[in-house]
Chains A and B, each alone.
Chain A
């Protein structure tokens, strides 16, 4: 019986590094106990992390599949599992299972396209994987634009990587913004949706959105105003999950399960689903 592919039984992972990104976001590096990558994944996929006795929860894998050494998860403190993780120390074991879900269509629809990534707050976490993947294969994709906004300077996730690597990547244009004026900030100030409109992107791009629902809503309106079609816009969703394999029955939007048929959806696909997320 033990030779079956067992999807509910997790593997053991060990936290080997914890980076403090913002006051409420930490990035955890997870490896197998003998220092290997736990499993391979595709950009946009998720994994179930758990602490026995605390709970299990789904997180998007923040690191790129092209990173062959480890996996990273950027996690915002907001519930039982995340609060527990935030007080964990390096060396702490966790359980991990996955990868789950439909990845971004990096080999199909994205190929050869100019890409526009738009993220707000912790919404950068699921996009970091796909951004770094596309940066790794510059020949496969056109220009990359990244619009990223947060409440304040200190709330920008992965700020170091953005400044050190993304900004210096000649194939990438980074547009940062924060909600309110702040001392020491010389960049753009304002909400993401307005900034997107101001930047007036060319509509030959494929856009990928992730952020709080209110940001998604207004950015979508902004993109449509610029002339983007819904088939050019992707997003990634999150709902409560328990199994990760489309069986426990709670993460559905209409007939689609976010864990299995998502988390990546194209906007026109979402339009077909009832408005219940």
Chain B
């Protein structure tokens, strides 16, 4: 359950709208059920009153929409950003993808988001989800009493290792308690590194074989902002939608992750939206972990204007041939 209420946020937005400070509000809109929330643009206090929602399912990172809206709309756009979303926002500013003048960024303290897919796994026919301090009461078609799932069990993957220690690059911050980080985000990466190559190969072969090449991971990614994606270029010889074979799957996922390496803020949207639940963040985190350990710690989106590691170098950098020995030494 979020500490800050939807009322607080929509009230804030409504007053700015009414005062003429902003013309649009980019937020989350409620759906048919308690969990199917859609990013949406609100233009009036009435719309906010009717449809605005802020709860544990307001997972969507809204920063990427600002590229589109700052280009197509005239007038200031209020956007609600969770602490982790602000990294994406700041990275987009660094890359000059957003017209900052058109944005009124409001930071929202977040108490951690819930993963609808995790809740769904053990509940058929969810009719309602009520949020409590400790977790969720899941009402279904098939049991009279609601099932309880704790906040920790239902937590969204990215929130397990929350990096939301601070909001950055904001116009205004709503006061409130922020979720405290827990797990080391590189645990799973290290676990995979410690497997044998055969084990790793089979792990990824199994995960990537489910890929249906829907491109949702790419399309949702706030770092994937090319005007024309290499995968959409028919002359590149890359499959952009055919799940042709395991080579193409690896090719797509390696290149997708590589193209955002050094710019990926680890916002976790790719894994969240994957219809086949492929742990795509483990590819991105591998690059982040390698960058951190080879070239020094770097958090994309933390400092506006910072130089991404892949467009930078040091004359004393590690040689590719030394990478494995060096890392094995670190892990030992």
Whether A and B are associated in the same complex: the answer reads: yes
Cβ–Cβ < 8 Å partners of B235 in chain A: 80
Q: Place the interface of chain B in its size category.
A: under 10
Cβ–Cβ < 8 Å partners of A80 in chain B: 234-235
Nearest-neighbour CB distance to chain B for A146, whole angstroms, equals 37
Nearest-neighbour CB distance to chain B for A56, whole angstroms, equals 12
User: Once bound together, how far apart are the Cα atoms of A80 and B237, in whole Å?
Assistant: 13
User: Once bound together, how far apart are the Cα atoms of A55 and B234, in whole Å?
Assistant: 10
Interface residues of B in 220-240 (CB under 8 A from A): 234-235
Interface residues of A in 65-112 (CB under 8 A from B): 80
Scoring B residues 285 to 310 as 1 if CB is less than 8 Å from chain A, else 0, what string do you get? 00000000000000000000000000
User: Once bound together, how far apart are the Cα atoms of A133 and B274, in whole Å?
Assistant: 56
Size of A's binding interface in residues, CB under 8 A:
2
User: Once bound together, how far apart are the Cα atoms of A201 and B235, in whole Å?
Assistant: 48
User: Once bound together, how far apart are the Cα atoms of A55 and B237, in whole Å?
Assistant: 12
The chain B residue with its CB closest to the CB of A55 is B234
Cβ–Cβ < 8 Å partners of B234 in chain A: 55, 80
Nearest-neighbour CB distance to chain A for B233, whole angstroms, equals 12
User: Once bound together, how far apart are the Cα atoms of A40 and B244, in whole Å?
Assistant: 37
Nearest-neighbour CB distance to chain B for A54, whole angstroms, equals 10
Nearest-neighbour CB distance to chain B for A168, whole angstroms, equals 46
Cβ–Cβ < 8 Å partners of A55 in chain B: 234
Nearest-neighbour CB distance to chain A for B15, whole angstroms, equals 41
Scoring B residues 3 to 38 as 1 if CB is less than 8 Å from chain A, else 0, what string do you get? 000000000000000000000000000000000000
User: Once bound together, how far apart are the Cα atoms of A55 and B235, in whole Å?
Assistant: 11
User: Once bound together, how far apart are the Cα atoms of A80 and B236, in whole Å?
Assistant: 13
Nearest-neighbour CB distance to chain A for B150, whole angstroms, equals 46
User: Once bound together, how far apart are the Cα atoms of A80 and B235, in whole Å?
Assistant: 9
User: Once bound together, how far apart are the Cα atoms of A194 and B235, in whole Å?
Assistant: 41
User: Once bound together, how far apart are the Cα atoms of A80 and B233, in whole Å?
Assistant: 12
The chain A residue with its CB closest to the CB of B235 is A80
Nearest-neighbour CB distance to chain B for A114, whole angstroms, equals 45
Interface residues of B in 225-264 (CB under 8 A from A): 234-235
Nearest-neighbour CB distance to chain A for B99, whole angstroms, equals 31
User: Once bound together, how far apart are the Cα atoms of A175 and B164, in whole Å?
Assistant: 73
Scoring B residues 115 to 127 as 1 if CB is less than 8 Å from chain A, else 0, what string do you get? 0000000000000
Interface residues of B in 34-77 (CB under 8 A from A): none
User: Once bound together, how far apart are the Cα atoms of A80 and B234, in whole Å?
Assistant: 10
Nearest-neighbour CB distance to chain A for B310, whole angstroms, equals 32
Nearest-neighbour CB distance to chain B for A248, whole angstroms, equals 13
Nearest-neighbour CB distance to chain B for A52, whole angstroms, equals 15
Nearest-neighbour CB distance to chain B for A224, whole angstroms, equals 35
Nearest-neighbour CB distance to chain B for A84, whole angstroms, equals 12
Nearest-neighbour CB distance to chain B for A53, whole angstroms, equals 10
Interface residues of A in 31-81 (CB under 8 A from B): 55, 80
User: Once bound together, how far apart are the Cα atoms of A229 and B234, in whole Å?
Assistant: 43
Nearest-neighbour CB distance to chain B for A71, whole angstroms, equals 27
Nearest-neighbour CB distance to chain A for B236, whole angstroms, equals 13
Nearest-neighbour CB distance to chain A for B235, whole angstroms, equals 7
User: Once bound together, how far apart are the Cα atoms of A46 and B234, in whole Å?
Assistant: 24
Nearest-neighbour CB distance to chain A for B173, whole angstroms, equals 45
Nearest-neighbour CB distance to chain B for A218, whole angstroms, equals 30
User: Once bound together, how far apart are the Cα atoms of A213 and B235, in whole Å?
Assistant: 28
User: Once bound together, how far apart are the Cα atoms of A132 and B47, in whole Å?
Assistant: 62
User: Once bound together, how far apart are the Cα atoms of A16 and B6, in whole Å?
Assistant: 73
Nearest-neighbour CB distance to chain A for B82, whole angstroms, equals 38
Nearest-neighbour CB distance to chain A for B65, whole angstroms, equals 25
Interface residues of A in 107-166 (CB under 8 A from B): none
3 contacts between A and B (CB under 8 A): A55-B234, A80-B234, A80-B235
Top 3 A-B pairs, shortest CB-CB distance:
A80-B234, A80-B235, A55-B234
B interface, CB within 8 angstroms of A: 234-235
